[in-house]
């Protein structure tokens, strides 16, 4: 039964290496993605409930379904390493990742709205030529981390100009790691380290949010999503800290939306992701020097820093039935130069997105929307990243990505 549920859930998150900001997409739904990913104070479709559940109160009765298509070009370079020549390795086993989207929102009364929306997260790599092969790993290697689930939302209007929202986020996560045999000797449980196939677990989190109309065309929103607690992945107890613990970090942020004219709205968001509070993401590999092997209590992880993301989006309605969008987002880099050797498995070096989008209103309350986003190449150069026992030198990691998608929405009456 667990495998059947996992297969159904992961159909909505065949993401693998589709990460753009860490394991997360840059926005919430096709409309948000076209406007730089904003969503705390400005909502146009049901998928923005993933950012701020309070925005359900702004949307009226509607249904949204879409598909986001992400193409990633990640990889790494090994330089000055005694175990082999300088070389570049491309994670090219899979580059294209379709991610379905869907949401439904319905007001129950003038003050209460309920809704549900899908969410997905993922990261990883798939090397046909494994960079760890020179150290004794399999010819092919990589990591695949997928999570998908559903957020169930309720929003209240305690005041006509303010709304509070709450969501329960339930999901399933799968992990698979291949080809990292050279590091098994650093584990407290080398039999549960690599090439174990897929292992998964259920988990959940909660989100609270607020959105308010301050008058004069200015809206404000903020939300906090708790850490996502997930069942331990026993098959990888020898590589993940705390014997297989791989939770998702807490996320919080806020935004402003200002309506300059009836046809032009500009939104800005700031979002913070607490990777350092999750051992698997935040603990540095240098924990090995403290006598903590891989898989141990509070043991080594990827060594990522917390991430802060800044977003700006413009929504312009030049004609009655046409809406155009543009946006930009930029983040701090989470990979430390000293931890790039493990980050060859997950090249989360993305830093900025430039986006455009549109919506064409159709008859009968239907809408057709699309967007495109470009993430330029960004590389993190290693510093003291390969141990002397493996021949020294440096591991550099890089990624380039672009994405696009379409959605179909239906408004059942006006918001």
In the chain, the domains with their CATH numbers are 2-411 (2.40.160.60)
pLDDT digits (tens, 9 = 90+) for 306-318: 999 999 999 999 9
pLDDT digits (tens, 9 = 90+) for 100-116: 999 999 999 999 999 99
Instruction: Please count the helices (runs of H) and the strands (runs of E) in the chain.
Output: 5, 17
Closest by CA to 54, choosing from 271, 310, 270, 225, is 225
pLDDT score, position 21: 84
**SS3 call for 26:** coil
| C-beta atoms surrounding 228 within 10 Å | 23
Are the C-beta atoms of 185 and 238 separated by less than 8 Å? Answer: no
DSSP state of 24: B
- Distance CA(115)–CA(104), nearest Å, equals 5
Residue 267 has which token pair?
A: 């939104």
- Distance CA(266)–CA(245), nearest Å, equals 40
Are the C-beta atoms of 371 and 34 separated by less than 8 Å? Answer: yes
What dihedral do alpha carbons 51, 52, 57, 60 form, nearest 10°?
Answer: 0
pLDDT score, position 19: 52
- Distance CA(183)–CA(186), nearest Å, equals 5
Alpha helices in 239-382 (DSSP H): 241-244, 279-282, 340-343
DSSP state of 51: T
For residue 404, CA distances in Å to 202, 255, 398 come to 29, 24, 21
CA dihedral for 28, 29, 33, 39, sign (positive or negative) = negative
Are the C-beta atoms of 315 and 60 separated by less than 8 Å? Answer: no
Q: What is the full DSSP assignment across 218-252?
A: EEEEEEEE--BEE---GGGTTTSHHHH--PBPPEE
DSSP state of 2: H
pTM (predicted TM-score):
0.92
Please give the sequence-ordered ranges of beta strands (E in DSSP) within 60-198, or none if there are none.
62-72, 75-79, 87-90, 96-107, 112-127, 141-159, 162-178
Are the C-beta atoms of 337 and 383 separated by less than 8 Å? Answer: yes
For residue 384, CA distances in Å to 23, 251, 335, 340 come to 26, 31, 14, 9
- Distance CA(312)–CA(366), nearest Å, equals 27
State the pairing for strand pair 322-331/352-361: antiparallel
pLDDT digits (tens, 9 = 90+) for 334-356: 999 999 998 999 888 888 999 99
Regions in the chain scoring below 70 on pLDDT:
1-19, 414-415
What dihedral do alpha carbons 363, 364, 365, 366 form, nearest 10°?
Answer: -60
Residue 196 has which token pair?
A: 């174990």
Are the C-beta atoms of 138 and 159 separated by less than 8 Å? Answer: no
- Distance CA(165)–CA(411), nearest Å, equals 21
Are the C-beta atoms of 33 and 45 separated by less than 8 Å? Answer: no
- Distance CA(57)–CA(46), nearest Å, equals 10
């Amino acid at each position: 039964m667990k495998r059947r549920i996992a297969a159904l859930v992961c159909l909505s998150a065949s993401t693998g290496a589709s990460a753009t900001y860490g394991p997360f997409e840059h926005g919430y739904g096709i409309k948000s993605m076209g406007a730089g990913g904003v969503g705390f104070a400005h909502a146009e479709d049901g998928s923005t409930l993933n950012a701020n559940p309070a925005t359900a109160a702004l949307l009226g009765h509607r249904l949204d379904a879409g598909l986001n298509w992400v193409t990633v070009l990640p990889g790494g370079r090994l330089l000055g390493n005694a175990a082999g020549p300088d070389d570049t390795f491309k994670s090219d086993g899979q580059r294209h990742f379709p991610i379905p989207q869907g949401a439904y929102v319905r007001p129950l009364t003038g003050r209460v709205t309920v809704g549900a929306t899908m969410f997905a997260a993922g990261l990883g790599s798939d090397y046909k030529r494994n960079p760890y092969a020179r150290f004794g790993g399999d010819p092919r290697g990589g990591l695949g981390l997928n999570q998908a689930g559903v957020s169930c939302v309720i929003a209240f209007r305690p005041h006509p100009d303010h709304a509070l929202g709450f969501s329960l986020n339930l999901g399933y996560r799968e992990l698979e790691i291949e080809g990292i045999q050279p590091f098994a000797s650093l584990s407290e449980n080398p039999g549960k380290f690599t090439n174990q196939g897929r292992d998964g677990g259920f988990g959940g989190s909660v989100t609270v949010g607020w959105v308010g109309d301050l008058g004069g065309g200015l809206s404000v929103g903020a939300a906090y999503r708790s850490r996502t607690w997930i069942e331990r992945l026993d098959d990888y107890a020898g590589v993940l800290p705390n014997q297989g613990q791989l939770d998702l970090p807490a996320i919080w942020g806020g935004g402003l939306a200002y309506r300059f004219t009836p046809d032009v709205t500009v939104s800005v968001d700031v979002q913070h992701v607490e990777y350092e509070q999750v051992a698997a993401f935040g603990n540095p590999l240098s924990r090995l020097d403290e006598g903590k092997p891989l898989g141990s209590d509070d043991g080594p992880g990827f060594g990522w820093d917390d991430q802060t993301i800044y977003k700006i989006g413009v929504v312009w309605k030049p004609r009655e039935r046409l809406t155009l969008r543009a946006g930009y987002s930029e983040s701090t880099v989470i990979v430390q130069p000293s931890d790039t050797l493990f980050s060859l498995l997950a090249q989360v070096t993305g830093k900025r997105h430039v986006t455009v989008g549109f919506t064409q209103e159709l008859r009968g309350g239907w809408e057709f929307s699309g967007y495109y986003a470009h993430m330029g190449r960004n590389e993190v150069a290693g510093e003291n990243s390969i141990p002397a026992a493996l021949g020294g030198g440096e591991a550099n990691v890089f990624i380039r990505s672009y994405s696009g998608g379409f959605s179909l929405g239906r408004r059942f009456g006006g918001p």
